[in-house]
A and B are shown apart, each in its own frame.
Chain A
Amino acid sequence: MPVPTATPSGVIVIAGRPVSAAHRPTELKVPVPHTATAPEAASNRALRAFLHGLPGVDEVGARARAQDLATRSVKTTAKAQAIDLALSMVDLTTLEGADTPGKVRALCAKAALPDPADRSVPRVGAVCVYSDLVATAVEALRGTGIGVASVATAFPAGRAPLEAKLADTRRAVADGAAEIDMVIDRGAFLAGDYKKVHDEITAVREACGGAHLKVILETGELATYDNVRRASHLAILAGADFIKTSTGKVSPAATPPVVLVMLQAVRDHHAATGARVGVKPAGGIRTTKDAIRQLVLVNEVAGPAWLTPDLFRIGASSLLNDLLMQRTRLTTGTYPGPDYYTLD
């Protein structure tokens, strides 16, 4: 895929075409900065030129590829390894209006020791809660080494003034959140106001300080795979550490073709700059089979380097129990029942 690159002469080339002088950042001098992916001066025109210069997604091809990869058979020892890897990648999530401190503490206990009957089960990647419950979660997870991720920026709609979003973010970080899951302004994105989306991400990035930033694209609302590709590159350009599919409140959420397109975006970004951005599918991944299919996608599209909790996470709540049940099935040889695992 042609990605924007900086030639030694300092001319930015996008999709094989030199960007006209008007869009070229005049202050750019040699040597080539390693993050030079796109117009540094983020004007709406420059962003539009970059994002609309990206090649279109072959929709049928993406679907067929995802479907083809979903038929991979992962069994026995490979399956055991995949289950443990998936367990370590789970962002155990509770994002309900009815969340209580008690429920968050219960979830944290489960994150630290997913299966009390089997201590060899790996811990989950993180616990994901609303920003006002971060303090509770941090307290409950003290000493376990598990980070707290917090959704912020007026999750899930993202319809709030920037000041409110930033205040939300700062509060979560101050309470000890190690990761911030922000939502993009889908309205602005669909209206073509890429600069607004870009600047919001940059502002939240700044408010995050040392915390990792995951940018939720809410692909279910973006309508086309082309938009998913554009939003992915826009988020990466604005400084996302992770791009995340969905809030989990909109259906369809993390469908395999969407994840495929996002994985292509991070792969291409890595090819162009050497920097690796993570991907987090969230929403609708409920079974071990779904999770393993995601891992196959990661391995085949982005590459094995992404098969680590640092670069791939799965946002889920009910998935964990299914992973545990499949793990028990593999270790004991008998089918487990849901009655033996905690609810939620």
Chain B
Amino acid sequence: MADGHKPKNKGSGAAKTAKTAKTAKDPESAVTGKAGQGRPAPRLTVRKTYKLYLGGAFPRSESGRCSPVTSSDGAHLANVSLASRKDARDAVAAARKAFGGWSARTAYNRGQILYRIAEVLEGRREQFAAALTDALGLSRADAAATVGAAVDRWVYYAGWTDKFTQVLGGANPVAGPFHNQSTPEPVGVVAVFAPQGAPLLGLTSVLAPVIATGNTAVVVSSERAPLPSIDLAEVLATSDLPGGVVNVLTGRSAEIGPHLAAHADVDALDLTGAGEAAVELEEAAATTLTRVLRPGPGSDGGEEAWRGTDPGTSRMRPFLETKTVWHPVGV
């Protein structure tokens, strides 16, 4: 917003702002300096630039591209960055860098941080409900229930962080003088293709189990409704979650997907939102022995498809590697 007239009173920032606003509305009155007295200047719209979430920061796409996002009834909502393959590469590098520290945290501390995410999300319920109404055309009640369910899901997985080890691991009976025990360990960097029709609860339901167990994630957000994923990234960024543990890419999954699937430094894929491309991505993943979680029933449903009951360990187990230790015991 360029205004051709420098404010006369340079010392006052407030004066400058007021003048700028006035100029924007009515250049003539600003020139004469007479009109507009007593009328409160209308606020300019503060438009939000949605960016990627990479390594704890919010950079624009390396490619400089962006694309418009519309609401369910076709109105323009905002522009989002269109991530390129290089952004995907950077995201994997950031996730790999964060993996050591995140997986080495105590399960208790990971639980605390996941619970903190729930707390911060709870404080922003209104914002997320409005975003869901815009993006999916949900009713207010539906949107509020979905946000509530998403908060609950974070709390749910916060509780799992220090319990999945007991459930999935344990002492194994062996026929010999050995103590034998198995313990599940995180696989590493997981590329998550978020559900297309469920940008908040669906995203939470696939993302939370991945990071709860100590993995780091590169999320390819819903192509149809990407805005809630970046809003969620802002919640993650302010919840003591170390940078790089979750990286969010908005853009075309058909463009980024193949590069992530074939990337040798990606340890697992969650193909929930990959749709038609899932088979192709699974084939590409096979070349580097990458673990794959195939899209299950209801993967392409809306938020209500994710509101079901207790997901259990079903979404944590695929991204864990069991380590078994044999230890000789004295007789």
Out of B259, B264, B284, name the residue touching A340 (CB < 8 Å).
B264
* Shortest distance from the beta carbon of A324 to any chain B beta carbon, whole Å: 12
Q: Residue-by-residue, is B250-288 near A (CB-CB < 8 Å gives 1, otherwise 0)? A: 000000000100111110000000000000000010011
We find that the number of chain A residues with CB closer than 8 angstroms to chain B is 8
A338 interface hit (Cβ, 8 Å): yes
Q: How large is the interface on B (under 10, 10 to 19, 20 to 34, 35 or more residues)?
A: 10 to 19
Q: Residue-by-residue, is A300-344 near B (CB-CB < 8 Å gives 1, otherwise 0)? A: 000000000000000000000000000000000111111110000
**Which of B89, B92, B264, B288 has the most CB atoms of chain A within a 10 A radius of its CB?**
B264
Contact B259 A339 (CB under 8 A): no
Total CB contacts across the A-B interface at under 8 A: 26
| Chain A at the B interface: SS class | loop
Contact A334 B262 (CB under 8 A): yes
* Shortest distance from the beta carbon of A82 to any chain B beta carbon, whole Å: 18
A339 to B99, CA, bound (A): 14
* Shortest distance from the beta carbon of B267 to any chain A beta carbon, whole Å: 9
By a CB distance below 8 angstroms, the chain A residues around B287 are 334
By a CB distance below 8 angstroms, the chain B residues around A333 are 262
A339 to B263, CA, bound (A): 12
A340 to B264, CA, bound (A): 8
By a CB distance below 8 angstroms, the chain B residues around A338 are 265
* Shortest distance from the beta carbon of B78 to any chain A beta carbon, whole Å: 30
Q: Residue-by-residue, is B282-306 near A (CB-CB < 8 Å gives 1, otherwise 0)? A: 0010011000000000000000000
By a CB distance below 8 angstroms, the chain A residues around B92 are 335
**Which of B92, B262, B284, B287 has the most CB atoms of chain A within a 10 A radius of its CB?**
B262
Contact B265 A339 (CB under 8 A): yes
* Chain A 122-156 residues near chain B, CB threshold 8 A: none
Of all chain B residues, which has the CB nearest A340? B264
By a CB distance below 8 angstroms, the chain A residues around B284 are 334
Of all chain B residues, which has the CB nearest A328? B264
Of all chain B residues, which has the CB nearest A336? B264
Known contacts A334-B259, A334-B263; 4 additional CB pairs below 8 A are A334-B264, A334-B287, A335-B259, A335-B263
Q: Which B residues are within 8 Å of any A CB, using their own CB?
A: 89, 92, 259, 262-266, 284, 287-288
Q: List 12 A-B contacts (CB under 8 A).
A: A333-B262, A334-B259, A334-B262, A334-B263, A334-B264, A335-B89, A335-B92, A335-B259, A335-B262, A337-B263, A337-B266, A339-B265
The 3 closest A-B pairs by CB, nearest first: A337-B265, A337-B264, A334-B262
